[in-house]
């Protein structure tokens, strides 16, 4: 038995295939996206939240938070112990389509620049971008006014590489240091390095802190192949900087604050209701949320996750964990529910507004 065979049978991709997990796409040099067998994943069968990391032979569902390593995944799914799982995996031939990719060359990553520097650099960056008519239409359809889209600083990412390089050159000329700014990284050509930023197609959604400073961006993607949203992050790129899972503040300090999933949803819900919202990037991404709520002077906190996810046991568990955490921190906690015909609180508020307009007419 060669080492090669040994690795192959215990590789995360082989384990996933043996378990019948639906692997959708390669997401990066070391990650694949698959359908999560624990939470059932999103309704759309082409979307997946289970990340399979071939470098670490690990899995992580960003929807329900389940994570671990290849043998553990097999053991959990088969309801056997790890020893048995190992034995079973070793007894079977590896899936013939599994190709072991050589380990990715590690690139040095920068730490994230302080918020003040990030905010200034991102604002200068946004000043060089425009919002496409299609993206503006998309935002208006969600219920935002034209003024609100301008206020929230949504901008479309340029499609031409020359535009991206030009913007980076201008920023550097104006004195901005792109090192430590998530989304920006360097390319190397003929021994020369130059700055670039990630080339997604879509629009930027600024994720702001309590003081209104831009912490980072989520991107609403035009093509939903890998899901609808990604972070503006240059993880694993030359001189790149990984984005964090930032929580956003949408509105002024207030005694009542509503927590929802996703910054764009929170922007829309805030605009339609005038309530103050805090957005989490995922139901499990709640680290430090009590600090944000305290800074907002919140007393009463509503949790308003999507209605369809509330019926999901894994998400229900994540919600209960959040509730406990908030109660322990001294907040009065309530769950906000609405007509389940509407998936998100933004959809519900928009339907309500349309209803009211009809009544007026
Ligand atoms: Zn999951």
Cα 35 to ligand 1 centre (Å)? 8
From-to residues of CATH 3.90.580.10 in the chain: 3-91
Residues 339-356 as b/e (b if ≥16 CB within 10 A, e otherwise) read eeebebbbbbbbeeeeee
Cα 48 to ligand 1 centre (Å)? 9
Given this model, what pLDDT does residue 162 score? 94
Cα 67 to ligand 1 centre (Å)? 9
265: Cβ–Cβ under 8 A, 6 or more apart, which residues? Answer: 279, 344, 345, 346
Given this model, what pLDDT does residue 220 score? 95
The CATH code of domain 3-91 reads: 3.90.580.10
**Tokens representing residue 169 in the block:** 């050159």
Cα 32 to ligand 1 centre (Å)? 14
308: Cβ–Cβ under 8 A, 6 or more apart, which residues? Answer: 43, 340, 343
Cα 102 to ligand 1 centre (Å)? 28
45: Cβ–Cβ under 8 A, 6 or more apart, which residues? Answer: 22, 35
Cα 201 to ligand 1 centre (Å)? 26
Q: In which residue ranges of the chain is pLDDT below 70?
A: 1-7, 99-106, 225-227, 309-310, 360-361
**Architecture in CATH for domain 248-360:** 3-Layer(aba) Sandwich (3.40)
From-to residues of CATH 3.90.980.10 in the chain: 115-231
Given this model, what pLDDT does residue 191 score? 86
Cα 36 to ligand 1 centre (Å)? 4
Given this model, what pLDDT does residue 4 score? 41
From-to residues of CATH 3.40.1360.10 in the chain: 248-360
Asked whether the beta carbons of 65 and 39 are under 8 A apart, the reply is no
Cα 342 to chain centroid, rounded: 22
**Architecture in CATH for domain 115-231:** Alpha-Beta Complex (3.90)
Residues 284-321 as b/e (b if ≥16 CB within 10 A, e otherwise) read bbbeebbebbeebebeebbbbbbbebbebebbeebbee
């Amino acid at each position: 038995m060669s080492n090669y065979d040994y690795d192959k049978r215990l590789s995360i991709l082989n384990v996933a295939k043996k378990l019948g997990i639906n692997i959708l796409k390669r997401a990066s040099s070391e990650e694949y996206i698959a359908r999560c067998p624990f939470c059932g994943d999103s309704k759309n069968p082409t979307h997946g939240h289970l990340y399979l990391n071939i470098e670490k032979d690990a899995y992580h569902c960003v929807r329900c938070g389940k994570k671990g390593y290849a043998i553990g995944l097999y053991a959990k799914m088969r309801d056997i112990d790890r020893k048995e799982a190992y034995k079973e995996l070793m007894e079977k031939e590896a899936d013939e389509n599994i190709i072991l990719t050589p380990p990715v060359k590690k690139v040095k990553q920068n730490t994230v620049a302080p918020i003040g520097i990030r905010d200034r650099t991102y604002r200068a960056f946004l000043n060089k971008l425009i919002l496409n008519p299609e993206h503006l239409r998309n935002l208006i359809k969600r219920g935002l006014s034209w003024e609100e889209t301008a206020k929230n600083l949504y901008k479309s990412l340029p499609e031409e590489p020359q535009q991206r390089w030009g913007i980076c050159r201008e920023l550097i000329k104006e004195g901005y240091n792109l090192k430590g700014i998530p989304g920006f990284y360097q390319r190397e050509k003929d021994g020369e390095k130059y700055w670039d930023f990630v080339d997604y197609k879509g629009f930027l959604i600024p994720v702001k802190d309590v003081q209104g400073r831009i912490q980072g961006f989520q991107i609403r993607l035009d093509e939903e192949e890998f899901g609808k949203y990604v972070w503006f992050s240059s993880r694993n790129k030359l001189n790149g900087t990984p984005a964090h899972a930032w929580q956003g503040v949408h509105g002024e300090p207030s005694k009542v604050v509503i927590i929802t999933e996703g910054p764009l949803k929170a922007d829309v819900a805030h605009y339609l209701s005038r309530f103050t919202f805090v957005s989490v990037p995922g139901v499990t991404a709640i680290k430090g949320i009590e600090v944000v709520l305290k800074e907002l002077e919140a007393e009463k906190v509503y949790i308003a996750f999507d209605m369809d996810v509330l019926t999901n046991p894994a998400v229900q568990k994540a919600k209960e964990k959040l509730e406990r955490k908030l109660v322990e921190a001294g907040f009065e906690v309530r769950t906000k529910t609405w007509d389940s015909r509407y998936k998100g609180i933004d959809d519900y508020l928009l339907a309500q507004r349309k209803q009211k307009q009809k009544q007026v007419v």
